[in-house]
Structure 1
Amino acid sequence: MTHGAPAKKTPTNDDEEVVPPPDGGWGWAVVFGSFMIHIIADGFTYTLGIFIVELMWYFDEGSERTSWIASIMVGVTLGSGPIVSSLVNKYGCRTITIVGALIAAFGLGISTLANGVTTLYVTIGLLAGFGFGLIYLPAIVSVTCYFEKKRSFATGIAVCGSGIGTFIFAPLTEALIKTYGWRGALLIITAITLNCIIFGALFRPLETTRPRRKRTTSEMAVELAEKEKLMAINEESDNSPTDSARRSVDDIAANGGTRQIVQDKPTSNTLTVSTAVGDASLARMARSQPHLLQVPGDVAGEDSRKFGSYGNLPNNRDAEMGMTVSSRKGSTAETRSHHGGSGVMYRKDALYSGSMLNIPEYRADPKGFSGSVMRIPDDAGSGTTNENEKVKVCGLIPCSKESYDAYKEMMDFGLLKDPVFILFTISNFCTSIGFNVPYVYIKDKALELGIPSADASFLLSVVGIANTIGRVILGYISDKPWLNRLWLYNGALTVCGLATAFSAFCDDYVSLIVYCASFGFTIGAYVGLTSVILVDLLGLEKLTNAFGLLLLFQGIASLVGPPIAGRLKDNLGSYDAGFYLAGSMIAISGLMLFFIPCLQRWTKSKTKVSDVSTKMAPIH
């Protein structure tokens, strides 16, 4: 780590408080921008198969070689997720989206000059793929930043643009190619892609802190009552100091605190309390009645082990008394002031698109949740910062601290030691192998049955509208407490896989429409419920890490899926084998996840045995 200018001291934030997500207001403009970006980006991506058919004829290439265009683009879009996350954490959603739109449009624009599919591997695959990758992540994160209570509804509207975009772009692309050829059609879509700049500009950064307002008389009365309550509890400390200390902290926690005690020094009798109740006023109370929070050192040590530690950001004024009273809100504000970047990826729930009522911490304390989801960087409590500070990734590439933190969080392979996550990753990998095969080849499969080109392209529109309906219905059902979300997810993938495998028996237009509707509806679970299932299985704390690793493996799987199906078509003369393979992979991915409850029980029992062995081990 290199250092430039002298470090500056982090300012205190006693006069600032966290601004909770507005759950409306400008947030609806952000939802609109995200919705339109999904229409454009996913609309083009999922209908690229129409271009693939045209390019096969134009360049006289086989299915495998031509399909690499789509595979590389999707693989780069997904695989670049961790890199995009690091950039978003430094520069924010708006800037990265605009840059991504420019790169994607540039890649598509120069593709019109290509004289072979190899050139398109670079222009559409790498350039446009990376550009859409820069658009994909901010389109989700920007919405989650603005919504908390209405997050599920808001993100649901935004991602519905994906299915609607597929529905619109399929006939649009067909008409443009028929009228202007594939080069002219691609040039027009390039212009459409540039509109993502306008929609990305709607992603206005959300102010996370504001000046703390003055307390009203009624609020001060409540504060005084709380103070008297603590004093009354302390009177019992002579008889039972341990119980008194525990009850005092529990009372704080019941009113929105973090229920945390951290011993400052091993021999100190003073407790460091982090709470969202009293803020600076609790510090003033401690000055006038410092004995209220004094307990024997052994009690502090015992309770600190029980409660754990969320983080201790020292406040100079309170430290002079031997104690720190730092609210979760103050921690968030200090994190933002310490880092010059957007810091949006420091939020544990940045990638969570489900209902917040699914989060136990939110149900327990909705008001305090907003201030607790911000991760505290490793050096946040050091009191120093350096705007020019750089970190070298792998010792080679210099980047900002914000970028490094986000990248490190997403690419922490330590999570692969978790058996449950390993199984989920394998399942996700299998799903991704088969996911893009229908999108790339369904039109060509229909053409082989003698179906007109316009009708064949419309099959993708059927997939798109069914996908929209599926996301809405499956998302709504998944929020019901009486339903096991994991079983819903597994069942949808299994049905989707079986439908794809049996699509080989579809020999007319009606049967293909039925298949496309089934595929679009059920595959919506894979896209829409992944983050929710991850939180159910691993917890919100590990969501960013898990999502980053999944994006990496999804990118690899998406890279190889369509070319394998294309190779089978070139060798066997039919798409049936490719659809068998894709369907089998998707069905297997759903079936294997039914073993997760058994794996969880085994892991839990193994952990208990390990804990017992540790406790029984002799002490030397």
Structure 2
Amino acid sequence: MGKGRQEEEKRPNGTADDSEEPNLPVPPDGGWGWMVVFSSFLIHVVADGIVYSFGIFYVEFLDFFKGGKGETAWVGSLVPGITLSVGPIASALTNKYGCRPVTIAGALIASTGFILSLFAPNIYYLYFSFGVLSGLGFGLIYLPAIVIVTNYFEKRRAFATGLAVCGSGCGTFIFAPLSKWLLDQFGWKGAILIQAGIILNCVALGALFRPLEESVPRRKHNHLDDEEVEALVKHSEHSGNPIVKFKKHQNRNAQKKGDTHLSPIFNVQPNMIRSDGALHVIGNGKSTPGKSVGSMSPPSPRHLHPLVSEKRHSSHVTLRTPVSVRGPMYRKDIFYSGSLVNIPMYRSNPAMYVTSITSIPEHISSAEDWKLFGFIKLSPEMRDTLKQMLDFSLLKDPVFLLFAISNLCTSIGFNMPFIYLPDRALELGIDSTDAAFLISVIGIANTFGRIVFGWLSDRQSVNRLHLYNCALTICGLWTALSPLCTTYPWLIAYAASFGLFIGVYVSLTSVVLVDLLGLEKLTNSFGLLLLFQGVATLIGPPIAGWIYDGTGSYDISFIAEGTMIALSGVMLWWIPCLQRRRNRSTAGTDLEVDFGKECDIKVKVDDVSA
């Protein structure tokens, strides 16, 4: 990034000279990418398998440290809570150093946390070693394992990402009985030491995350015809929106005659690029009914901009971004796990889509404002990522706020069955091996659920928001009714249904976010959601444990947190109402330019941020 970045920051609005064109890495959609998917799959097996099988250790910690259920549950909730909460930091490090070194560092930190846990004199020591330190390490492992897959795939992204995250359910299925066997054979200290060694294998797996090499620029372009150009210029002139500038340069074919060529250059602002890649132009507070330029009737010559009506040339449409944009987090779709073929602009022109979703954060004049803890100076890559992911202005959007509250409610109950279901089975007189197998049932059902819901979400006839709502509501109701499951077969049925329907939570969150907010807000909204999820995951299991300590039963805990999950699905049915209200208050798509035909206009991206 170095010198190119410094030169870019000296320009107003962080723009680059229009002669520059980025050599963006082209995802191969295969090749070494399948090794990346395999590595990511195994990382999910190890990391999520160990985290979600904590319920086996929970029973052992209760007996060894003699603490309360709520007090002991903090150990298990800190790991996933910290893992999610450090998502923005992990993203910033990944943008600066790449997926490979961050994954390797995370594996070393997580393994160190497990090893230090062997010397725990009390449960509070485990809060730091097993909870905070290992959670930090898993956070640095987990996020790059997702980012690297989406970086390698475009057309096959949904399939590749689905394969990678299936490792989570498979890992839970494998590590639940494995952890029980290790505990029986070596005690909890021996089991944790062996798991620390297993985590170290992520160092080798992370080494397979080879960064994409730069390639030649994508030069396939979409185009506008002359009538569409004139209509856009007309709109710019009458709305007062400074979209069009004109660049004067010598005509190479007529240098002797002194002829000049006036090229309109479009200044595309952040709010002009929609999630489907179309150019979305908004006037100065004045709105008119939405209309595509391609469908507009040709304007009369007297309405045309004089410079355009004088010269009607054809020049190439080229979206340009600074050569210095290299980090994976500068792609707005980096967290999008769905199929890109569902995005209209990607179907029509992948080259222009990739350029349009490359985020160029706005110029930050003072680096002093972006020092971590007031004294750690951040690199531009880290600063840009944190700025994107921690922009709290999105909380003013009622649609996002409702979705974030829903995620908070879901996360409160998400981890509870993984921690408490084995102990609840033991209280019902079920054998400890059979009780541990309940976690395996959740894991394998979760794998199946992610595949099913991922496949359904790609169907054109399926409303993804409704699918998401229904699955969460059913999952919550099952959890709230689970106290009625007092026999082992019924507990198996509950574990399978919970794992199946909660699969929608992980597989469709980013897809639904794009449907609701647009692709340009995905990085920002995903970063804030990680914070909501982290806090809720942190407090959810201890709350359930405290309820048990006060009542002597898990029934109220499962009813309360199951109700929270069901409520998280029910409240999202109000989102269409909020969207209609928002559309009425901000009505006004005024002009949409769909790049589908040929023309010769250079489009310069001055400042496109996520």
Name the TM-score, length of structure 2 as normaliser: 0.80
Pairwise CA distance, 1:326? 9.3
Q: Does 1:472 align with 2:451?
A: yes
* Structure-1 residue corresponding to 2:505: 526
Q: CA deviation at 1:328?
A: 5.3
1:428 and 2:404 equivalent?
no
Contact map agreement 1:439 1:460 (CA 8 A) in 2: yes
Which structure shows the bigger proportion of residues in helix conformation?
1
Structure 1 residues 520 and 328: CA distance shift in structure 2, 3 A: farther
Correspondence for 1:352: 336
Which residue does 2:94 correspond to in 1?
88
Q: Quote the Cα distance in structure 2 between the aligned partners of 1:286 and 1:20.
A: 37
Aligned equivalent of 1:254:
none
- Matching of residues 226-245 of structure 1 within 5 Å: 243=227, 245=229
After superposition, the Cα gap between the structure-2 partners of 1:15 and 1:65, relative to the gap in structure 1 and judged at 3 Å, is closer
Amino acid at match of 1:571: G
Give the letter for the 2:112 counterpart: F
Q: Which moved more, 1:567-576 or 1:524-533?
A: 567-576
Which residue of structure 2 aligns with residue 189 of structure 1? 195
The aligned amino acid for 2:173 is F
Tell me the distance in 1 between the aligned counterparts of 2:268 and 2:51.
56
Closer/same/farther in 2, CA of residues 55 and 375 from structure 1, 3 Å limit: same
Structure 2 CA distance for partners of 1:409 and 1:182, relative to 1, 3 Å: same
The answer as to 2:273 corresponding to 1:294 is: no
In structure 2, C-alpha distance between the alignment counterparts of 1:14 and 1:56, rounded to whole Å: 62
CA deviations 1:586-605 (Å, max 9, x no partner) are 00000000111111111111
Instruction: Provide the rounded CA distance (Å) in 1 between the counterparts of 2:247 and 2:18.
Output: 22
Aligned counterparts of 1:579 and 1:493: Cα–Cα separation in 2: 15
Distance 2:520 2:446 in 1: 30
Residues 279-298 of structure 1: per-residue CA shift (max 9 Å, x gap): xxx99679899979538x9x
- Please state if 1:371 is matched with 2:371: no
Q: How does 1:139-538 map to 2 (within 5 A)?
A: 139-210=145-216, 243=227, 245-246=229-230, 262-264=243-245, 270=247, 294=262, 330-331=320-321, 334-336=323-325, 343-379=327-363, 391-393=370-372, 395-538=374-517
SS in 2 for 1:18: coil
Offset of residue 204 of structure 1: 0.7
Task: State the shift of 1:370 in Å.
Answer: 2.1
1:610: Cα distance to partner? 13
- Alpha-carbon distance in structure 1 between the residues aligned to 2:107 and 2:267: 54
**1:352 match: secondary structure:** coil
Contact 1:335 1:377 in 2 (8 A): no
Partner SS state of residue 451, structure 1: coil
Deviation at 1:469, TM superposition (A): 0.4
Secondary structure at 2:586 match in 1: helix
Could you tell me which amino acid in structure 1 is paired with residue 162 of structure 2? G
Give yes or no for the alignment of 1:45 onto 2:51. yes
Native 8 Å contact 1:263 1:270 kept in 2: no
Q: Distance in 2 between matches of 1:458 and 1:546?
A: 36
Q: Tell me whether 18-27 or 365-374 shows the greater mean CA deviation.
A: 365-374
Find the aligned partners of 2:218 and 2:518 in 1 and give their Cα distance. Answer: 32
Which residues of 2 match residues 7-46 of structure 1 at below 5 A? 17-46=23-52
Paired amino acid for 2:381: E
Q: Distance in 2 between matches of 1:404 and 1:542?
A: 17
Alignment correspondent of 2:75: 69
What is the CA-CA distance between 1:396 and the residue it aligns to?
A: 3.7
Q: Give the alignment partner of residue 557 of structure 1, picking from 526, 530, 536.
A: 536
Please tell me whether the aligned partners of residues 479 and 559 of structure 2 are also in contact (alpha carbons under 8 angstroms): yes
Q: Distance in 1 between matches of 2:540 and 2:268?
A: 54
Indicate yes or no: 2:572 matched with 1:566: no
Q: CA deviation at 1:18?
A: 3.4
Deviations 1:551-606 (A, max 9, x none): 00111111110001001111111111110111000000000001111111111112
- Aligned residues of 2:413 and 2:561 also touching (Cα < 8 A): yes
Q: Deviation of residue 110 (structure 1)?
A: 1.0
Q: 2:20, 2:399 → 1: CA distance?
A: 42
**Cα-to-partner distance string for 1:325-344 (whole Å, 9 max, x where unaligned):** 99757525x133xxxxx511
Q: Does 1:116 align with 2:150?
A: no
User: For residues 298-354 of structure 1, what are the alpha-carbon distances to aligned partners after superposition, in whole Å with 9 as ceiling and x for unaligned?
Assistant: x999999996799xxxxxxxxxxxx9x99757525x133xxxxx5111110111111
2:587 counterpart (581, 586, 608): 608
Q: Which amino acid aligns with 2:335?
A: L
SS at match of 2:377: strand
Query: In the superposition, relative to structure 1, how do residues 102 and 283 fare at CA in structure 2: closer, same or farther (>3 Å)?
Result: farther
- Please give the per-residue CA displacement for 1:61-83, whole angstroms capped at 9, x wherever unaligned: 11111100011111111111111
Distance 1:563 1:206, change over 3 A: same
Gaps of 5+ in 2: 11-15, 235-240, 273-278, 283-312, 591-610
Q: Within 1, Cα distance between the matches of 2:495 and 2:204? A: 33
Q: Which amino acid aligns with 2:197?
A: A
Q: Structure 1 residues 606 and 112, CA, compared in 2 at 3 Å: closer, same or farther?
A: same
RMSD, aligned CA: 3.8
How far apart in 1 are the matches of 2:23 and 2:405?
43
Residues 326/500 of structure 1: CA separation in 2 closer, same or farther (3 Å cut): same
The offset of 1:212, in angstroms, is 8.7
User: Which whole-Å deviations, capped at 9, do the CAs of 1:390-420 have from their partners, x for residues lacking one?
Assistant: 9524744311111011011000000001010
For 2:288, the equivalent position in structure 1 comes to: none
Aligned 8 A contact 1:21 1:147 in 2: yes
Determine the structure 1 residue equivalent to 2:570.
591
Contact 2:442/2:498, CA 8 A, preserved across alignment: yes
> Aligned in 2, Cα 1:443/1:16: closer, same or farther, shift over 3 Å?
closer
Q: Which residue of 1 aligns with 2:296?
A: none
What SS class does the counterpart of residue 516 from structure 1 fall into? helix
1:315 aligned residue: none
Within 1, Cα distance between the matches of 2:581 and 2:392?
A: 22
Residue 15 of structure 1: how far off its partner (Å): 8.2
Is this contact kept in 1: 2:81–2:538, CA < 8 A? yes
Residue 203 of structure 1 aligns to a residue whose secondary structure is coil
Q: How far has the Cα of 1:374 moved from its partner?
A: 1.1
- Contact in 1 for aligned 2:233/2:244 (Cα 8 Å): no
Matches within 5 A, 1:127-146: 127-146=133-152
Q: Which amino acid aligns with 1:94?
A: R
* Aligned-pair CA distance for 1:364: 3.4
1:301 to 1:285, Cα distance in 2 relative to 1, 3 A: farther
1:191: how far off? 0.2
| Aligned mates of 2:18, 2:228 — CA distance in 1 | 31
Q: Does structure 1 retain, via aligned residues, the 8 Å contact 2:111–2:196? A: yes
1:376 Cα deviation (Å)?
1.6
Q: Which letter does structure 2 place at the counterpart of 1:374?
A: T
CA distance in 2, matches of 1:491, 1:288: 71
Per-residue displacement from partner, 1:114-164 (whole Å, max 9, x unpaired)? 121100000011100000010111010000000000000000000000000
Conserved? CA contact 1:149–1:355, under 8 Å: yes
Q: Distance in 2 between matches of 1:154 and 1:141?
A: 12
More relative contact order in 1 or in 2 (CA 8 Å, sep 6+)?
A: 2
Letter in 1 for 2:321: S
Secondary structure of 1:483's counterpart equals coil
